[in-house]
Amino acid sequence: MKDHRMNFIQDIEVKLFGLFSPEQLSLISNAVITSLSDYEISERCTAVACLDDSNTKLLKRYTGCLVVEGKSKNTIYQYNRMIQKLSATINKPFTEMGIYDIRMFLAIEKNNGLSNRSVENIRAYLSAFFQWLTNEDIIDKNPIAKMKSIKYTDEVRKPFSDTEIDALRCACMSLKERALVEMLLSTGVRVNELASMRVTDVDFNTLTVHVVNGKGAKERMTYTNDLAIKYLKKYIKYRGEDGEMLFYNRNHQPLKAGGVRFILNQIAARANVENVHPHRFRRTFATNLSKRGMNIYDIQKLMGHSNINTTTTYICSDDSTIHASYNKYIA
C-alpha cells in the first residue's frame, strides 16, 4: 500500500507558502508530521525480531566500513547512536524507510528541544548511511538524497578571555588541576588525546609533545611551554613517578576524557567561569597563536586538521584584533 503521508505534507506546505514565515511553516509541518505518526500503525509495524536482526546486521556492516575508512571512535559512536535511534523510533527495516520516515524522525528530534544545527548533523549522519546502503546495492536509491540541508544560525563560539584564563588558574586547587589546564592551553590537543598521553610522549627538554590516538588515528607533533612543564614535573613528582600515563585519577587509574571534563567543571564552578570544556581550550589555543602572528598553515599542523577550512573556524577575531591588524598592514 502506497504511503501518501509525504504527499499530504507537501500539499499543505504548498497551500500555506507565503502565508507564514519559513520558521512558522517549519513548525506547522513538524506538528502535522508528528500527528500523522499515530495513524496506520498496524499496517506499518514489522515483526520486532526480524526488524532488529536485519537492522542490526546492516549497522554492523556499516560500522565496519567506517572503521576501515579511519573514522574516529567518537565519530563512529555518533553515527551508531543516531542510526540505532532511528531504527527504534521508526520501527521499520532500513530498506523500507522513505523520506517521510526520515522527516518524521527529524521532526521528533527537533520537538524534543534539539537546535537546528544538531538536527542538521543528524540529517547528515543519516544521509551518509543511506548513501552507503545505496552504494552497496542494498536499496535502489538514497531516500533523503534530495532533502535540503537544515538552515541554522552559526553561533559565535568564543575563546577564553585573559581574565577567564587567570580565574581558571587561580581556581585550581591541586598540582594535577593546574598541570591539566596548562597542558590544554599550551598544546591545543583534543580531550581524548590528552587522556591517552604518556609521560614518554612529552620531551621535557625540548618542550615537544608527541600526540597519539588523535582523530582518525593520526599522529602529529605539537609543543608546550615552560609553565606547563613546571607544573607537570611537580605533579608527577607528587603522585610518584611509577606510572606511564601522564594523568591519573584519584584511584591511580588512567584519567579518561570524562574525568578531564569532570575536573574542568569543578574548576569552572570555583572560578565562576561559564562554558568551560576541553574544546574551548583548543579554540583559545588557535586564536591566541593567530593573534600573535602564526601562519594559519602552521596552526593547522599543530591542531591536526586535514582541512584548512576547519582551522579557520577555530580562530575568533574580535574588532580590536582586526583593527590592530589593519593598522599594522596599512601603514
Domains in the chain: ranges and CATH: 5-135 (no CATH), 162-330 (1.10.443.10)
**Which residue in 321, 278, 316, 276 sits closest to 299, CA to CA?**
316
Please report which confidence band the pLDDT of residue 35 belongs to, taking 50, 70 and 90 as the band edges. confident
Long-range Cβ pairs for the range 217-223 (8 Å, 24+):
217/70, 217/72, 218/304, 218/306, 220/301, 220/302, 220/304, 222/187, 222/188, 222/189, 222/302, 223/186, 223/187, 223/302
- Give DSSP secondary structure letters for 252-293: SSBPPHHHHHHHHHHHHHHHT-SS--HHHHHHHHHHHHHHTT
Residue 104 CB coordination number (10 Å): 20
What pTM was estimated for this model as a whole? 0.60
Position 105 pLDDT exceeds 50: yes
Edge-first strand order for the sheet with 220-223 is 202-203, 208-211, 220-223
Position 40 pLDDT exceeds 60: no
Amino acid occupying residue 5? R
The CA R_g of the chain, rounded to the nearest whole Å, is 25
**Average pLDDT rounded to a whole number, residues 95-123:** 88
Most confident of 14-28, 252-266, 308-322: 252-266
Strand partners, 220: 211
**Which residue in 88, 152, 144 sits closest to 118, CA to CA?**
152
Phi-psi region of 207 (alpha: psi -120 to 50; beta: other; left: phi over 0): left
Position 43 pLDDT exceeds 50: no
Of residues 291 and 3, the one with the higher pLDDT is 291
Give per-residue pLDDT as tens, 241-297.
778 999 999 888 999 999 999 999 999 999 999 989 999 999 999 998 988 888 899
Position 321 pLDDT exceeds 60: no
**Average pLDDT rounded to a whole number, residues 30-52:** 55
Most confident of 112-116, 197-201, 314-318: 197-201
